[in-house]
Structure 1
Amino acid sequence: MTPFLGEFIGTAILILLGCGVNANTTLKATYGQNSGWIVTAFGWSMAVFVAVFVAADASGAHLNPAVTVALAVAGKFAWAKVPMYFLAQVLGAITGATLCWLQYRPHYAAEPDQGAILGTFSTGPAIKGTPSNFISELLATFAFAVAVLYLTAPNLGTPDGKLGSLDALPVALVVLAIGLSLGGTTGYAINPARDLGPRIAHAILPIPGKGGSNWGYSWIPVFGPLLGGAMAAGLYMVLQMQ
C-alpha cells in the first residue's frame, strides 16, 4: 500500500470498529445494547490495535491528525506530507462510519433517540461547557501523544516517524487507559479525524429522524486534540534535550 492508502484503510478500519462498538452498545435491539462504558473503551482500544497493525508498514499508522502534527512538530515527519495524511485520515473516517451505518442500518431506523444516533458517530460532552470540554480533549490527547512518542521512540529517528506493527498493542493499551481514566467527560475523541469524519457521515447519510449533527461543538474535538498533540511534541523535545 502507498502511505495515502495505508492511512485511508487504517482509519476506515479504526472507525468501522470504533463506531461499531458505539452502535452495538447504544442502538435498540442489538445484542450489545447497554453493555456500558468499559465495553466501549475496550472496543475502541481494540479498534486501534487492528488499525495500527494493518497500516503500520504502509504509512506508519498515524491514523490521527494529532499524531501527525505531533511528529511534524517534533521534526520527525515532513510538514509537506501533513495535508496528504490529513486528507486520507478524514476520508477514511467518513468511509468507516458509512460502513458502520450499513452494518447497523435496521437498528438506526428503529432508534428514536436523536442523541443516541449522533453519539454512535461522533463525540459530545457529558456536561456542556466550552472551556472545560476543550481542556478535556486537549489533556486527553496530550497524555496520549506523550505516551505514543515514547512508545515509538526507537522509530522516531526515521524520516517518516513511523509506528511499527509491534507498537499496535502498546498504543491500544494507551487508548484503553485514556478511555477508562479521562474519557467520561467528552467521549475522548483524541483524534480530529475520528470525530469530524463520522460527523460528516452523520450529516449526509439518509438516517430516518437523525436530527442535527451538532456542528456548534464540532471544533472542540478537532482543535483540542491538535493543540494537545503539538504540546506533547514540545514537551518531548524539551525532555530530550535534558
Structure 2
Amino acid sequence: MSNGSIFVWEALGTAILILLGAGVVANVVLKKSAGNNGGWLLINFGWGLAVFAGASVAAPSGAHLNPAVTLGLAVADKVEWGAVPFYVAGQMLGAFLGAVLAWLTYKVQFDTHDDPRNTRGIFCTAPTVLAPGWNLVTEIIGTFVLVAWVLLSPGAKAAQDGVPQFGNSALGYAGVAFVVIAIGASLGGPTGYAINPARDLAPRIAYAILPIRDKGSAEWGYSWVPVIGPLVGGLLAALLYLALPV
C-alpha cells in the first residue's frame, strides 16, 4: 500500500474513532443530552465500540489509529519506518476532524450546557489526582497492555505487503474493542486512559480552537503525559515482543 493510501485510511478510521469516542463522552456529560449521567461504564463501552468501528473502516492500512501502536509495530519490525510519518499524520488529522464533528453533533447541547468551563474532558483526558509522574506510569501501563495484546495475541503477523494484520484471528477488531473496554474499566480511572497520543493531543487542539461558549483551559501543562506515556508503553511492549521466543 502506498504511503498516501495509508494516510487516507488512517485519517478516515481515526476520525470515526474520535467522532464516536468523544461523542459518547458528550452524550454522558452534557446536561441536555439523552445520555446524560449514563456513567463511566457507558463511556467505556462507547470507546471500545468506537475503536471497533474506526479500525474496521481503516482495515486496508492495518488500522493502527494510534501512534503508540504504530511505534510498537515499527520497533517490532512489522511495519516500515518510512511509513510511520504517514500513519501518524493521518491519525492526527483524523482525530482533529473527529473532534470537530463531535462538537458539531452536540453544538446545541454545548451552547445550553450549564457548566461550559468543564467541557474539556469531552475532547481529551485529565487525571483525577494530578501527579504527573504517577499519571505517566498509569498511561505507560495501560498502553503497554494494549500494544502487547496487539503484538502477542494469536494471529498477529505482518502481511507480505508489510501491512500488519494483528489481533485474535477469530475476533479481529472486536478483540481490540474488548481490550480497550477492559483497560478503561480496570486501568482508566486515574487518568481517563488516553492510551493514544493522537486521541488526546489532536482533540485537545480542537478544543482550544473551537468556539465553545465560556470554555475552560486546554490544560497544556498536562498534555505531554498522554503523549509520552503511550509512546513509552508502546515501545516497552515492542521490546518485550522482541525478547520473547515467538
- What's the TM-score once normalised by structure 2's chain length? 0.93
Structure 2 counterpart of 1:182: 187
Structure 1: distance between partners of 2:194 and 2:100: 18
More helix as a share of residues: 1
| Structure 1 gap ranges (5+) | none
> Which residue does 2:165 correspond to in 1?
162
Residue 154 (structure 1) shift: 3.8
1:114 Cα deviation after fit? 4.3
What is the CA–CA distance in structure 1 between the aligned matches of 2:133 and 2:245, rounded to whole Å? 31
Q: Please give the alpha-carbon distance, in whole angstroms, between the structure 1 residues aligned to 2:245 and 2:145.
A: 17
CA distance in structure 2 between the aligned counterparts of 1:114 and 1:239, rounded to whole angstroms = 49
Q: Which residue of 2 aligns with 1:24?
A: 27
Residues 142-182 of structure 1: CA deviation (Å, up to 9, x unaligned):
01110111236443364232347952100100001101100
Could you tell me which of 205, 214, 217 is aligned with 2:219? Answer: 214
C-alpha displacement at 1:9, in angstroms?
Answer: 0.3
Q: Which segment is superposed worse, 22-31 or 157-166?
A: 157-166
* Deviation sequence 1:118-144 (CA, Å, 0-9, x none): 000000001110111000000000011
Please say if residues 44 and 176 of structure 1, whose CA atoms lie closer than 8 Å, have aligned partners that are also in contact: yes
Tell me if structure 2 keeps the 8 A contact 1:151–1:167. no
Q: 1:154 to 1:123 in 2, by over 3 A?
A: closer
Q: Pick the aligned partner of 2:51 from 28, 48, 53.
A: 48
May I ask how many residue pairs the two structures share in their alignment? Answer: 240
- Inter-partner Cα distance in structure 2 for 1:149 and 1:121: 28
Secondary structure of 2:189's counterpart equals coil
* Amino acid aligned to 2:10: E
Aligned to 1:205: 210
Cα distance in 1 between the residues matched to 2:76 and 2:26:
36
Residue 240 of structure 1 deviates from its aligned partner by: 2.7
Cα offset, 1:116, TM superposition: 3.0
SS at match of 2:35: coil
- Indicate the residue corresponding to 1:193 in structure 2: 198
Q: Please provide the CA RMSD for this pair.
A: 1.6
* Shift in Å, 1:115: 5.0
Within 5 Å, which residues of 2 pair with 1:230-241? 230-240=235-245
State the distance in 2 between where 1:154 and 1:134 align: 27
1:52, 1:216 → 2: CA distance? Answer: 30
* Unaligned ranges ≥5, structure 2: none
Match in the other structure for 1:85 = 87
